[in-house]
Amino acid sequence: MNTRHRFLLIALVAFARITAAEDKPKPEELNAAWLAEHYTKYEHRIRMRDGVRLFTRVFVPKDDSTPWPIILTRTPYALKPYGTDNFMDPSGSSFGTLAKDKFIMVAQDVRGRYGSEGTYMHVRPFNPNKGPKDFDESSDTWDTIDWLVKNVPNNNGKVGMFGISYPGFYTAMGMIDSHPALKAASPQAPVTDWFIGDDIHHNGAFFLAQNFDFFYKFTQKMEDPLRDTLLSYRFGTPDGYDFFLRMGPLGNSDKLLKGQAPEWTEFLAHPNYDDFWKARNPRPHLKNIHCAVMTVGGWFDAEDLFGPLEVYHNTERMNPGIDNMLVMGPWSHGQWGKGPGDKLGQISFHAKTAEYYREKIELPFFRHYLKGDKTYTATEAHIFETGTLHWRRFDAWPPKQVTPRTLYFKAGGTLSFDAPKDKATAFDEYISDPAKPVPFTNDPSTTYPKAYPIEDQRFVSSRTDVLVYQTEPLEEDLTLAGPLKATLHVSTTGTDSDWVVKLIDVYPGDFPNPEPNPADVKLGGCQQLVRGDVFRGRFRNSFEKPEPFEPGKPAKVEMNIPDVCHNFRRGHRVMVQVQSSWFPLVDRNPQTFVDIAKAKPGDFQKATQHVYRSGGMASSLTVQVLGAAKN
């Protein structure tokens, strides 16, 4: 074959390939136009048992070749855009994945919000003794589902529910005393206990920066709530540390909000775990659930990590025999519901974990229980292991194979599974100054950076008010899977104190930087936060009845910390940091035993903190080990 013929042959082959590629159908682009083409939108006002009507948006597939199941989301947030001719963009979201598979997609404004009648109440308590006209979120869900299956055209009589964060709470409440048509529910990052572990407090410590702007916006009065946009608080600076420090005592926050957030005032009026908070804890009421449940959460969810773990465990305990599953991925708050989920902060997951979840976990779950798909295999616990960055399947959570082991704080800032042998009293000391609190992030923010739960902690590890303990480099991988428990033996020269405990993965000094690396990230020696939490010391014996510390007298503070599933790789170190402030994520503890919401500037005092580490007062962190490590 001469050169000219060879050239013509190559050109013909290339042309054929290009033509074939052009002839191949392109995947449909999900957008508002696609939704309008494939779905008919309806808006209804569904009457509840007490006569109140709830605004409900319904998207029905135009394909009427077979009846379709219904998927319901109930929310306190807007269902914008309102109007039967207005369609939103469903791309890259759970809504889009489910809509493309042809479900009847329903969303509802809960009572008192946006298009719905009635009075709104935050985390409305469950009423176990309802009369014919009494209501709660469980009954509103029941009434809604009952109306939908009787009135929405071409439905197959099966209903699923899902929602993230506050909508996750409404999903959890909706599966209590389940309507017979409810076959599958997926509470995702469900708000569960606003005093013990979600959103507003952790172990009694008030979360300031995370909530200040949120509640400023939440009850904002608008001329046209169906169309107007909520406005954020005008901080006048991107530096939340400076703003909240200049604000002064916590009580001044109420003044800054100028009555815009009445619930904020209500929160500050309940500093202890009283009936106000207890009534808003759904855990004791997660009974009479007759549908399959798949609870979802993110390991790096700054708002609601406590919730999904607690909903899963309590559903499992009180509803034997139902299909009850847990999914935990490497995500920030709600990150699994939209976008690729391929990274968080400077940490890459080397996979589109959120897309995987939506297509390989969430969609098959609803297809099986609502459409009868027989290819589905239920997994009790579908868990992403951070560190090694891969999905694992377990038949229980925590895994049955774990062994509790204790990491002890030791002299010279060391950390070891070997208990201290020194019988003499030994301690480490630091001075906690409310005027110079330890920052929770190196990123200036008036709320919170999504990636702070995975942030490099080197920016605080050299502070004199932060204690640091770490192992030698690990000789083999160490996998922790399950809850953590910190046992601190402490004393303070004050009469109250916060205690922050952080579990950290320390990378080797020669750890390679990410590629590409436009931000010039240095991962060598990175102190990646794996889990951190705070405990307000006055609640060490009771969340209902706080007690002051006796200055200088040792006391024990036991702190349950939400689960991890993390592999510390060979050559890495395990680090624990201990401190007494985490600002402005957590409000400043005056370190005197006063009602913190009423504290005056003079109540804020320096305190000398002792953390004991020997004899009968060996402070430690108990972990659940799936593997063994030498250190």
Per-residue pLDDT tens for 164-216? 999 999 999 999 999 999 999 999 999 999 999 999 999 999 999 999 999 99
The predicted structure's pLDDT at residue 519: 83
Mean pLDDT value of segment 406-411: 98
273, burial (CB in 10 Å: exposed 0-12, middle 13-18, buried 19+): buried
Residue 609 near residue 430 (C-beta atoms within 8 A) = yes
Among all chains, which residue has been given the structure tokens 């399950």? 482
> Does residue 456 contact residue 344 with C-beta atoms inside 8 Å?
no
pLDDT of residue 294: 98
pTM (two decimals): 0.93
Q: What is the pLDDT of residue 18?
A: 47
Residue 200 DSSP SS3:
coil
Per-residue confidence (pLDDT) for residue 2, from 0 to 100: 54
Summarize pLDDT for 41-53 with one digit per residue, the tens: 999 999 999 999 9
Amino acid at 562: P
What is the predicted pLDDT for the residue at 627? 67
Dig out the tokens for 99 from the structure.
Answer: 């809509």
Distances (CA, A) of 131 to 49, 110, 281, 397: 10, 20, 21, 38
Q: CA-to-CA distance for 136 and 142, rounded, in angstroms?
A: 10
Query: Is residue 26 scored above 70 in pLDDT?
Result: no
pLDDT per residue as tens digits for the range 282-305: 999 999 999 999 999 999 999 999
pLDDT at 13 over 80: no
| Banded pLDDT at 520 (limits 50, 70, 90) | confident
Q: Could you tell me the sign of the dihedral formed by the alpha carbons of 367, 373, 379, 380, in that order? A: positive
Tens digit of each residue's pLDDT (9 = 90 or more) over 421-445: 888 899 999 999 999 999 999 999 9
Mean pLDDT across the chain, nearest whole number?
Answer: 94
Q: Is the pLDDT of residue 631 over 60?
A: no
Residues of the chain with pLDDT > 90, as a percent, come to 89
Show Cβ contacts of residue 35 under 8 Å, excluding neighbours closer than 6 positions. Answer: 59, 87, 88, 89, 90, 99
400, two tokens: 């049955």
Query: Running DSSP on this structure, what letter comes out for residue 182?
Result: E
Distance, in Å, from the CA atom of 298 to the CA atom of 314, rounded to the nearest integer, reads: 18
Region 58-70: what's the mean pLDDT? 98
Domains located in the chain, CATH noted: 34-192+282-394 (3.40.50.1820)
205, amino acid identity = A
**DSSP calls for 204-267:** TEEB-HHHHHHHHHHT---SSTTTPPP-----SSS-HHHHHHHH-STHHHHHHHTTS-HHHHHH
Tens digit of each residue's pLDDT (9 = 90 or more) over 301-356: 999 999 999 999 999 999 999 999 999 999 999 999 999 999 999 899 999 999 99
Which value, to the nearest 10 degrees, does the dihedral of the CA atoms of residues 22, 28, 32, 35 take?
Answer: 140
Q: Which residue has the higher pLDDT, 219 or 546?
A: 546
The confidence band for 416, taking pLDDT boundaries of 50, 70 and 90, is very high
For residue range 583-619, what is the model confidence (pLDDT) as tens digits? Answer: 999 999 999 999 999 999 999 999 999 999 998 999 9
Q: Is 446 exposed, middle or buried (0-12, 13-18, 19+ CB in 10 A)?
A: buried
For residue 234, the tally of other CB atoms under 10 A from its CB is 9
Q: How far is CA 371 from CA 216, 217, 289, 487, in A?
A: 42, 39, 20, 48
Percent of residues, the chain, with pLDDT higher than 70: 95
Greatest CA span in the chain, whole angstroms? 98
Q: Which of these ranges, 18-27, 202-211, 546-555, has the smallest mean pLDDT?
A: 18-27
Q: Which residue matches tokens 């239920």?
A: 378
Q: Which two tokens stand for residue 419?
A: 């208990």
State residue 84's pLDDT score.
Answer: 96
Q: Report whether 303 contacts 335 (CB < 8 A).
A: no
3-class DSSP state of 381 = strand
Tell me, what's the pLDDT at 493? 98
